[in-house]
Structure 1
């Protein structure tokens, strides 16, 4: 039984024509993204103060977060004091980055920075099975200075190191972070898409309140945290 509306059924020739028309727009969008990336490479930059963050092994200067590399991406994870479960969007977003060694070939590193105290941040990282390296900016103005203040939103920043001097080269927040994730790219390929009410979809397409299909932080912990197996399944309950 069909629960939702379906796309119209046509013959292969009609389908190919419609697909080719869409592909023309897709290729134009790809070229526009190439042009945007080229413009990003031409942005000026801002010299940063000598911040000190907290890492797993204690205080660490921002310049040393690079670990000898010349480029650094920081994801600023939302943090709310006293909460057992932090932002599900940030928790889910950062859970997908399990193999970042490919950045070594590009002389780059990608890490999480959060306003939470380092002990609490590392405990949360373990609880949800996160694989990234985390730093705390709780004792520094660094987060607030780059668009992610205490009790504020998430953000992505990019930095360039020249010797002991660090420069900020790029920043985004909100939906600007979508270009870093494969999740929405995959979901947007599906016939029903994200199924969120704000999206432009044909009549009868399934639509739900925004965020309602997103995994909760508790779900991420069950999939990837202590006790989950190596392929992201909760422990077997014996049934």
Structure 2
């Protein structure tokens, strides 16, 4: 995959132009859309309220491997009460790991705000910690990484070796850890600012599956995403 300045069409030849209208008609159309946007916001508030009422599951006393060696899951919290983990897809010995996971986790460069919410957000992978830390450096990832290679933790939280990615949330009460929430697939999009920004654009993601007007730019799904070598070229080695 290549990156850089895209080819821009000549003036007056841009494909997929929305119909032009006067300011009042545009305002009325925007107000109509805004009603749906506000309804979606209220629904997301209701979903979050339901999430806060979910029961939780007590977890075994797992041991992960961090940069400084073995660490209990309860100690991954580093004194906080809440923990979010992103399980990064992994294939041992592979030069470039999952591009989607690599791009997704590269977004999170300023996580100190979670301190005010008694929480942390870390990466966990089923790969060996030495490989994981070398890859983290290679692609310029700034999050803290842990390995579950010597533990059933990954499989138990729906991200087994050879399986997919996933987000999990945990709550700590002393040395006891509880699992409170999980998602994978497109459920992780709510954590991403990249899709939120792209979806604001008139052409959206420009992917084949999108419901767009005739004439809008289209390309194969994922083809616009940055791949792992792109991330390394932009951010690696820092």
TM range (shorter): over 0.9
Greater relative CO, 1 or 2 (CA 8 Å, sep 6+): 2
Separation in 1 of the partners of 2:46 and 2:16?
Answer: 38
Q: Where in structure 1 are there 5+ consecutive unaligned residues?
A: 228-239
1:5 is displaced (CA, Å) by 2.1
Map residues 218-237 of structure 1 onto 2, 5 A cutoff: 218-226=229-237
Name the residue aligned to 1:180: 191
Cα contact 2:65–2:146 (8 A) shared by 1: yes
Map residues 108-123 of structure 1 onto 2, 5 A cutoff: 108-123=119-134
Separation in 1 of the partners of 2:212 and 2:16?
Answer: 11
Separation in 1 of the partners of 2:69 and 2:79?
Answer: 18
Name the residue aligned to 2:5: none
- The count of residues paired between Structure 1 and Structure 2 equals 227
Give the counterpart of 2:148 among 111, 117, 137. 137
Asked whether 1:60 is paired with 2:80, we answer no
Name the residue aligned to 1:234: none
Name the residue aligned to 1:190: 201
Q: CA RMSD in A?
A: 0.7
Cα contact 2:16–2:215 (8 A) shared by 1: yes
Map residues 163-174 of structure 1 onto 2, 5 A cutoff: 163-174=174-185
Name the residue aligned to 1:44: 55
Separation in 1 of the partners of 2:93 and 2:142?
Answer: 23
Name the residue aligned to 1:95: 106
Separation in 2 of the partners of 1:219 and 1:83?
Answer: 16
1:81 is displaced (CA, Å) by 1.6
Cα contact 2:93–2:131 (8 A) shared by 1: no
Cα contact 2:84–2:120 (8 A) shared by 1: yes
Name the residue aligned to 1:217: 228
Separation in 1 of the partners of 2:20 and 2:79?
Answer: 56
Which secondary structure does the structure 2 equivalent of 1:189 belong to?
coil
1:226 is displaced (CA, Å) by 1.4
Separation in 1 of the partners of 2:84 and 2:132?
Answer: 18
1:68 is displaced (CA, Å) by 0.4
Separation in 1 of the partners of 2:116 and 2:40?
Answer: 27
User: 1:197-229 CA deviation, whole Å, 9 max, x = no partner?
Assistant: 0000000000100000001100000000016xx
Q: Where in structure 2 are there 5+ consecutive unaligned residues?
A: 1-9
Asked whether 1:125 is paired with 2:142, we answer no
Give the counterpart of 1:156 among 167, 175, 180. 167
Cα contact 2:66–2:146 (8 A) shared by 1: yes
TM-score using structure 2 length: 0.95
User: 1:100-146 CA deviation, whole Å, 9 max, x = no partner?
Assistant: 00000000000000011000000000000000000000000001100
